[in-house]
Amino acid sequence: MISSSSSFKEILTSARALVQEDLLRTEGLISTIATTAPQGVNTRMEQLVHRKGKRIRSTLLCLIARSGEISPDADRIAHSCAGLELLHLASLVHDDIIDNTDVRRGVRTAHKEWGNKIAVLIGDYILSQAMRCVINEKDRAIPEILSNAANDLIAGEIMELDDSGNMNLSYERYIKIIQNKTASLVEASARMGAIFAGFSSEMVNTCGKMGAHFGLAFQIIDDLLDYGIGAEDLDKAKFTDIANGLITLPVIFYFEVCSPTEKEYMRTLISRASEPKVPEEIIRLLTQQDCFEKTKKEAMDYLDSALSIAKSLPESKFSETLELFFSSMSERTN
């Protein structure tokens, strides 16, 4: 029995079990897309889709889609979930090239395995297939939502790159970046789910906000995990943000309270973040000023907002699980 005291991992496992037929159908579609891809793409894509992620976006879509009063079409749900998961995968393949990371989902990243040129093209192929998944969807809002999310991801990633090394990054700009690069796809998942649930257009917008706030909290926690804060069994490398000169909330909060000399010292430390012991010194200074605590509180505020919307959905085992899913997320460890 899952309850409010269960961990995020346990709740996510039981949420996936609740919508497992939809997820299995989605896996089937994704797997066929990989095996029927052209030679040179197929075996590589098979390897990538074999390394399953947490399936957070598709699980969210299914929980919302199944919380309405109508019984939604399973095939339409699966095509949208496949579109979401493939768009997410394509963006990660490209993101790992941009961030130059070695490990993703516990294994070597695509570009470390096959080189940048092949990895860019495999990412392109996956992106194209993501859009194809919803090409025949009868509600034209669905492909529009997915392609808008792709635009937002790209815009967010460009904003992040334009601001890399910017020690004056504001809180508002940081939120705008993560809204685009992460929350937009989670928002898209929630909106699609609400459409399949047969909700009113007002409720579709409200669910979109719920997804966006959950997505913002998710990325803020992800940024804490990058410092190793609360991390266990992390299946990717730590300190990639600061090593790439990316400022996230803990540092933004530090700069709000520190002196000009301390800011200059922190700036020097961040520029040397790849050297041994430097990340630990950064963490020490951020901890001293409660910057991780403040960051966690920020994530909790967004989660509370998502949670209060989830509570307004029609009561069912799906919406109940959604509530548990949101309330446990701040404690996730990987």
Binding site for ligand FPP (CB under 6 A): 90-91, 94-95, 98-99, 123, 127, 150, 153-154, 157, 181-182, 222, 236
53: left (phi over 0), alpha (psi -120 to 50) or beta: beta
Residue 154 Cβ, how far from ligand FPP at the closest point, in Å? 4
- At 108, phi and psi to the nearest 5? -60, 140
Q: Which two tokens stand for residue 131?
A: 């859009």
| Four-residue CA torsion sign, 208, 213, 214, 220 | positive
Q: Which is nearer to ligand FPP, 66 or 181 (CB)?
A: 181
Residue 122 Cβ, how far from ligand FPP at the closest point, in Å? 10
Q: Which is nearer to ligand FPP, 52 or 317 (CB)?
A: 52
Q: Which is nearer to Mg ion, 72 or 123 (CB)?
A: 123
Q: Which is nearer to ligand FPP, 13 or 244 (CB)?
A: 244
- At 107, phi and psi to the nearest 5? -130, 170
Q: Which is nearer to ligand FPP, 66 or 94 (CB)?
A: 94
Instruction: Count the residues in the chain.
Output: 334
Report which of 12, 10, 53, 13 is spatially closest to residue 30, judged by C-alpha positions: 53
Residue 245 Cβ, how far from Mg ion at the closest point, in Å? 13
Q: Of ligand FPP, Mg ion, none, which one sits near residue 182, judging by CB under 5 to 8 A according to partner kind?
A: ligand FPP
Residues in 72-111 that interact with Mg ion by CB under 5 A: 95, 99
Cα 143 to Cα 79: distance, rounded to the nearest angstrom: 11
**Helix, coil or strand: residue 101:** coil
**Cβ(70)–Cβ(215) below 8 Å:** no
Q: Which is nearer to Mg ion, 79 or 104 (CB)?
A: 104
Q: Of Mg ion, ligand FPP, none, which one sits near residue 236, judging by CB under 5 to 8 A according to partner kind?
A: ligand FPP
Q: Is 157 in the site for Mg ion (CB under 5 A)?
A: no
Residue 17 Cβ, how far from Mg ion at the closest point, in Å? 29
Residue 149 Cβ, how far from Mg ion at the closest point, in Å? 18
Residue 154 Cβ, how far from Mg ion at the closest point, in Å? 14
Query: Using CB atoms, what's the residue nearest to Mg ion?
Result: 99
Q: Which is nearer to ligand FPP, 131 or 285 (CB)?
A: 131
Cα 253 to Cα 289: distance, rounded to the nearest angstrom: 9
Q: Of ligand FPP, Mg ion, none, which one sits near residue 72, judging by CB under 5 to 8 A according to partner kind?
A: none
Residue 95 Cβ, how far from Mg ion at the closest point, in Å? 4
Cα 120 to Cα 41: distance, rounded to the nearest angstrom: 12
**Helix, coil or strand: residue 248:** coil
Cα 258 to Cα 194: distance, rounded to the nearest angstrom: 44
Burial readout 197-222 (b: 16 or more C-beta within 10 A, e: otherwise): bebeeebbebbbebbbbbbbbbbbbb
Q: Of ligand FPP, Mg ion, none, which one sits near residue 58, judging by CB under 5 to 8 A according to partner kind?
A: none
Q: Of ligand FPP, Mg ion, none, which one sits near residue 283, judging by CB under 5 to 8 A according to partner kind?
A: none
**Residue numbers at the binding site for Mg ion (CB under 5 A):** 95, 99
